[in-house]
Every structure is written in structure tokens, then in C-alpha cells.
Amino acid sequence: MLFKDFIRICMRIGSTSSITEKKNIVATYLKELERSEWKSFILFLVGKPIPDSIEGGLGVGYSTIMKALKNPIKPLFPSNPLTLNDVFNELIKIAYIRGKDSSKRKFEALASLMGRMSREERIWLSKIILGELRIGLVDGHLLGALSNVLGLSLEDIRRAYLLRGDLGDVVDVALKGVEALRNVPPRLFSPIRPMLATPASSIAEAYNMIGGGEAAVEVKYDGARVQIHIKNGRVKIFSRRLTDVTYSLPDVVEIVRNGVSVDEAILEGEVVAYERGSGKPLPFQTLMKRFKRIYNIEEAMELIPLKIHLFEIIYLNGKLLIDTPYSDRYDLLVERVSEELLANRIVTSNIREAESFYKRALDYGHEGVMVKRLNSPYILGVRGKHWIKVKSKETLDLVIVGAEWGHGRRSSWLSDYYLAVYDPNSGEYLVVGKTFKGLTDEEFQYMTKRLLELKVKDEGFRIWVKPEIVVEVDFNEIQKSPKYKSGLALRLARITRIREDKSPEEAATLEELYQLYERQFEKKGKVI
């Protein structure tokens, strides 16, 4: 398929608002395409220029793209029109340009690729790279289309997707057939999508949500989640955003080597920074410094000591444990891990006992507790009713999609932020409020730099950015709002922290915000 024909398809998909119609168009073309073209076709449709599994991404920002758009490098001889795979292969080459002068070399490679394109093709390529395709397709829709066209069950495809963590990889596996798909093992040293929790406002509510009875109540540590892959002494640690952070955490690697006795496993836990002496948990922002550190790690280890609290085992010696009940998984974990590395927990059906455990956790400076159903499978990548989080204050994780320049003292900072929820049905991020409150001067500076890197549109006083940065937001109330397309607005929003460990797809969804809106209404009703 020629890249210019792909653009026509994108236009058709973008012109209908019906998801079914969009999926039908995708399915029709998949049937016509060579199978070798499926991967690039599918990835480009969801606005991914390269597979997610390529460490470090494409490494090309807004300004480089704009420069290449304005200054394409024309080839010496006229070339054939570019196919989809020509473009895909060139982008992969650009991603792998690393090391000395890489920015310059990436620019030259991109400008040369653009030099072989028409103006329209250049613009569409920029949209793909910036994640600005806006034709309303997300990974889930493509999994559906794959399932339809290949006659494979959506459940099998979804499972492979969550285990492999990469849409491109799923295309490869699905094309090999049902056997390969069903038996896809997690790839050790390549992270899988973690199980997520649903919030509750009290212990009683949490017990209610899991259907009552006996449950595990674990401390909810205020740290960063990690996934630890182990094979014969080799250890790799991935952050919640599935990036490899092994290099920054040699002390955690050491703790795992000494305290875990397994040949092959995937474990999960929370890494927390503690103050020397008092042993109290240190703020999340301090912990994040450790995760990002690539220089002077020894010094950082001294200043910010880390501990790990393990709470899951997902894979053990060739066997995937996601369908094994949580209580059995926990037994396997206990057998192989030193006690001091395990998350603190009790198992009880007594709500009073659970409440007093919760109170003690808060008194100690932890974030709250996780109430877990004992017979729950490990559900990849989904926020279900098996893990319920109870915290002292309800906050929302929202995505920054735009920002305005400040005034007066703040005039050199992007300091007023547009906050959005995620709509998994359309893949859109919908604004629900704005805030300039909550960050320190240092954080404003940092945010300004990050946001400029993510810029997709410049309106002078305001920029719009690729949805990438997640922030935890405290608020006073949720109101109906005709001003925003989401229909809701937060009153008195304030950022409580930058959640660099979370990906934008993990942010609060539109549906969740509507549920919270209703719930708050119920509470108000009771007070009156």
C-alpha cells in the first residue's frame, strides 16, 4: 500500500463518528493488504510511528518535526512513491539512531524521508509522529478488527496484547494462528501490563465491592510500582510505565538477589524511599528522583535509601500464574521471598479489624490500604472489582493537554494547566478543568520544559501538548459544565503531585468522573 493511499483511508475513518463503521473500514482494508503490511498499517492507524517496545521511542520532538517539514532534504534523483512499509522502516531506523550527534542525525534522516514525500504526506507523517492523527481509533479497536478478520477470539488477542505489551508484537503472533496466540508466553525482560485498582471511600465500601467475606488488607505503600523480572540471577526492573529502570536502582536489584530465591519469575511490588534514622516514608517526588537518576547513583543511594515491598508473583519457572487465585499466588510468593520484603498485610472478614489496620497504616505515613479478594485472578491492565484502594483523601489522576503562559513573576513559565480525563472509547482526552495551583517554582520550571517538548500546537498565549503528563489532582467538587465537551468541571482543582510513574491511559476516565459526580450528589443529599 502506498502511503498516500493510507492517508485517504485515514480521512475516511476520521469522517465517520461510528466506531462500528470505523472498524469495518479497517477490516475491509486488512483483508486486501499483504500480511507483511499489517503491522505498519495497524500501528499507524493508532498513531504509533514505531512499536512501543522500542526503548526510548522515536526521539523526535515538535521542533525537529517542524524544522524537517519546512526544510525537507530532496533526493538527488526522483524516487518512487513511498509505501507504508518504506515509511515504517525509515522510522524504525530513525528510532535506532543513538549516541553522538543523534539529534542532528535524526533530523537529517527525517528531513530526507520528508524530502521524498508530497506536502500532504509530510503533514500526515507529522501527525502520526506527534500522536495527532485524531481519527478516533485506539489499540482496543484494532484488536477487535484483528479478531474479526482472522476469526480469532477477542479474549485470546487481548490477553496476548496485555502479556506482550506491544500492539505490533500481537499482530505478529496473531498471524501465526490460534495455537501461537493462546500459548504466547510473557517475554521475560519485557514488561506486561499491570493489574489496576478501583477506589472506595471507606473500608466498609471496599468490602462491599468485593462481595464481603474474608479479604486481604495490605498496606498501600506510597511509592512507585515496579515489575521485577528474574532469570537465573539476572534481574531487570521495570517501572509502572513499563520502562526499564534497572540501571537507576542497583540497590533494589541487590535486595532482590539476596532476598528472593527463584530461577525464573516475574514479581511485583512497591519501591518506597525511607528517611534514614526515623524510617518514615519520604515524599513521592523524592523517590522519583531516584528513578530518573543516571549519574552519581552511589550518592543518590546514600541520600535516598530504598526498600521494596513485594505483593505479587505473576510468573514462576515457565508457568504463567494469572489464572491462579490470589491466595495461592501469595503462598507461592511467601515460600520464595524473605519476610521483610513482603508487603504488610492481614487477612480478615472483620471490618473493625480491617479499619484499625487501615488507621495504623495512615498513622505510619502510608497512603492507605488495598483490600484484595482472595480468589481473584490477576487481571492484566484492567481496573476491576478485585483490588480496592482506600485512601484518606480522594484525588483524581488527570492528564495535562494544554497550558497557558503565566503572568508577572510566572511569565516565563507555562503555569496554568488544562486537565483532562481519558475516554477509552474514543481515545480522546477531554478537558475537565484548569489549574495554576499546587506546584513549586522548581516544578513549574520542570513542567515548562517538559510541556514545550510535548507541544503539538502553538497559539501564542497557550500551547496544546501531546497527552503524556499525568498529575494527581485534589478538588473541592465536580460540577456540570456546558463549557467543556466532557460536560463536567472540577471546582478548585489543585495539583498534589506529578505522577511520572503513570501513563496517560491510566488516568481517570470520563465514566469514572461521572460516577464520582453522582456519588458526591448522593452524599450531599444525605447531609441535607
Is residue 220 close enough to count as binding ligand AMP by CB under 6 A?
yes
DSSP of 66-129: HHHHHS----SS--PPPBHHHHHHHHHHHHT--STTHHHHHHHHHHHHHHTS-HHHHHHHHHHH
User: Which CB atom, from 68 or from 399, has the smaller least distance to ligand AMP?
Assistant: 399
User: Which CB atom, from 52 or from 472, has the smaller least distance to ligand AMP?
Assistant: 472
User: Which CB atom, from 121 or from 501, has the smaller least distance to ligand AMP?
Assistant: 501
- What's the rounded Cα separation, in Å, for the pair 490 and 417? 13
Among 109, 192, 370, 396, binds ligand AMP (CB under 6 A): 370
Is residue 270 close enough to count as binding ligand AMP by CB under 6 A?
yes
| Residues designated catalytic | 220
Q: Rg of the chain's alpha carbons, rounded to an integer? A: 24
Residue whose C-alpha is closest to residue 502's, from 197, 236, 218, 60? 197
- What's the rounded Cα separation, in Å, for the pair 59 and 528? 55
From 25-33, 170-178, 213-221, 461-469, span contacting ligand AMP (CB under 6 A): 213-221
Is residue 389 close enough to count as binding ligand AMP by CB under 6 A?
yes
Is residue 221 close enough to count as binding ligand AMP by CB under 6 A?
yes
What region does 394 belong to: left with phi over 0, alpha with psi -120 to 50, or beta? beta
User: Which CB atom, from 121 or from 312, has the smaller least distance to ligand AMP?
Assistant: 312
Residue whose C-alpha is closest to residue 467's, from 476, 456, 475? 456
Residues 457-462: contacts with CB within 8 Å, 24+ apart? 461/404, 461/405, 462/402, 462/403, 462/404, 462/405
From 2-10, 114-122, 212-220, 316-324, span contacting ligand AMP (CB under 6 A): 212-220
User: Which CB atom, from 311 or from 422, has the smaller least distance to ligand AMP?
Assistant: 311
Is residue 218 close enough to count as binding ligand AMP by CB under 6 A?
yes
Among 39, 48, 225, 455, binds ligand AMP (CB under 6 A): 225
User: Which CB atom, from 128 or from 206, has the smaller least distance to ligand AMP?
Assistant: 206
Among 304, 314, 343, 400, binds ligand AMP (CB under 6 A): 343
- What's the rounded Cα separation, in Å, for the pair 226 and 190? 13
From 65-73, 116-124, 214-222, 298-306, span contacting ligand AMP (CB under 6 A): 214-222
Cell numbers placing 58: 522515536
Which helix (H) or strand (E) segment holds residue 265: the answer is: strand 264-273
- What's the rounded Cα separation, in Å, for the pair 39 and 170? 9
Residue whose C-beta lies closest to ligand AMP: 225
From 14-22, 180-188, 220-228, 473-481, span contacting ligand AMP (CB under 6 A): 220-228
Task: Outline where DSSP puts E strands in 349-427.
Answer: 368-373, 383-391, 396-405, 414-423
Is residue 197 close enough to count as binding ligand AMP by CB under 6 A?
yes
Q: Which residues bind ligand AMP (CB under 6 A)?
A: 197, 218-221, 225, 270, 311, 343, 370, 389
